[in-house]
Amino acid sequence: MQVIITDMRGTGVRRATPNTGSHENMEMIKAWIKHCNDEHPHCKISVQETARLPTRLLQIEKSGKSFKVKLCLSSALSPSTSYATLSHAWGSGSPMKLINKNVLRCQQDIPMASLPQTFADAVQLTNTLGLSYLWIDSLCIIQDSTLDWEVESTTMCNVYSGSTINIVASASVDCDGGLFRQRNPLSVTPCTVDLSFLNEAGAREGGPYALSRGTYWESDRLLADEPLGRRAWAVQERILAPRSLYFAAEKVYFGCCEKITSDTHPSFLEENQLWGAFMNTWATNRPAFATSASELQLCSLKWQSVVQQYTHAQLSYESDKLVAIAGLAEYMQRTWLGPTITYMAGLWSLQLIDGLMWRGESLHATGESLLTRPKAYRAPTWSWASVEGKVKWQSDEEHMGFPDQFYGASIVEARTSPTSSPFGSVHGGYIQIRGHFCTWRDVAAVDPDWDVVNVDGREDREHILAESDGLMLFILRVEENVEGLVLEYTGDKKGQYKRVGVFEDFEGYVLPASRSFRPAEHLFMEVNGNNEYTIEII
């Protein structure tokens, strides 16, 4: 076990209570929120005053020692109504659901005895925090109505970014697990040691110090490994919320736009600079559209970081791949990118060529990635949303934001066909791109670095060797190395291809092959005098 020594001067280490839902913790949580409201200027603007309320909310009233809960339509409430949200894992069980036949009954009363433990705990906590309204997905979206689900699933950007606090059932595998946990106080309470001493001038220096099992960075990793941290839908929920309370297996964490703290370090408010990390929030309602190359670069890297987090998590339904991250996409366009930059099935028209260079995260043991195609169409092959598996980008900051002459290709036209919301699912899309390409066989002997999608259950290398005559290399970026796409001709349309993977090679091999390549007419849409070919990728 690693022991971390942290300078605790003026921070007041607190002995943990036996239960994370103790009265002492509830008082501390209220103090955290008050401190955030009073002292954090960025958090004061984070809850969107102009955001639309969720269509439905649960209204909570204290009734003796219990609570009266009922469903209400937000159209009857003031637009400035404050509410909490719950982020939880459904698990293999079946939480209480709002369905067409119980809508009217739920508007009259939802008995507390009918609520699973996580929902009941969230109701109690919401009331304790002085709020009267709570949003829970299974009780605020009609679960047997495809239309209602499609409409409500496109509003997640407003639901979570407009909340006052997001309650995160981090440690529970399902809705019966509850928020609060028993624990051994000694196992999580830092040990304070006074290592102070008198210097030559007679002044005391150093100490006291706290010895703990880890840092906030390690806590960030631990939360990611908990049950809810592995749920893909929860990624946008925690990032969109301006403030979140994480009820973990051993501690309670609070994160907002500026600070992160826990119930064992109640005053130890660390700067929230975990950019791209688990507890980071994007919340702000002040549009600050990116204009400079460095700002646009930051947006690209920020999005790539989130996609990497997202594809490490799990979805119960393959068809949710684009829907479960749609709220984040809408938020990014609304807040940072602006309407002139288009969202395209998981990528952005901003620096689209860089976006195309996603690849699978390889397994440490074999060095191969495990990207596969879902059975049903979900996105164009050039989008990471078209595959199952963990995705990453090799691109680093030095690649981002360069002018077009640093690229070996240029976008002619790019379009997608959204099913409804421009940020949700799609039923088609294409990219027409101009540049240089050659056959795989021209350079296969030098064995360039490649990463391709597993096709029909075949191993990647078997696919390459068996079908190399049908595979083409299309150059995207030229620097010290040449990087590009591995494409497969569809045979359905002149110059039309599917993305199979990416490659990287030294330019001494690929560039000469591309310059001397003269493809048959059916392999391209058009060619210009610079030996650049226009093709279409679907």
CA atoms within 13 A on the CB side of 417: 8
* CA–CA gap between residue 343 and residue 39 (Å, rounded): 36
- Rounded alpha-carbon distances, angstroms, from residue 374 to 121, 363, 377: 37, 20, 7
Average pLDDT by consecutive 10-residue portion of the chain (538 residues)? 43 76 94 89 60 91 91 93 95 83 96 94 97 97 93 91 94 94 82 73 72 55 83 92 92 86 67 52 69 82 91 91 95 89 95 91 61 91 94 64 60 95 95 91 70 59 54 86 89 94 81 87 89 94
pTM comes to 0.86
Residue whose C-alpha is closest to residue 310's, from 231, 219, 228: 231
DSSP 8-state secondary structure symbol assigned to residue 491: S
**What's residue 397's pLDDT?**
46
- CA angle 329–331–337, rounded 5-degree value: 80
**What's residue 5's pLDDT?**
41
* CA–CA gap between residue 498 and residue 501 (Å, rounded): 9
Q: Look up residue 299 and give its two tokens.
A: 């947006």
| Segments in 313-459 forming alpha helices (H) | 326-332, 352-355, 440-443
**What's residue 4's pLDDT?**
42
Over its C-alpha atoms, the chain yields an Rg (Å, rounded) of 26
CA atoms within 13 A on the CB side of 433: 27
**What's residue 481's pLDDT?**
82
**What's residue 300's pLDDT?**
87
Strand runs labelled E in 232-366: 244-247, 252-255, 259-262, 265-271, 343-344, 347-348, 358-360
Residue 106 sits at φ, ψ, to 5 deg, of -70, -25
**What's residue 298's pLDDT?**
83
Instruction: Give the relative orientation of helices 233-240 and 293-312 as an angle to the nearest 10 degrees.
Output: 140
Answer whether 106's CB lies under 8 Å from 79's CB: no
Tell me the DSSP string of 137-152.
HHHHS-TT-HHHHHHH
**What's residue 402's pLDDT?**
46
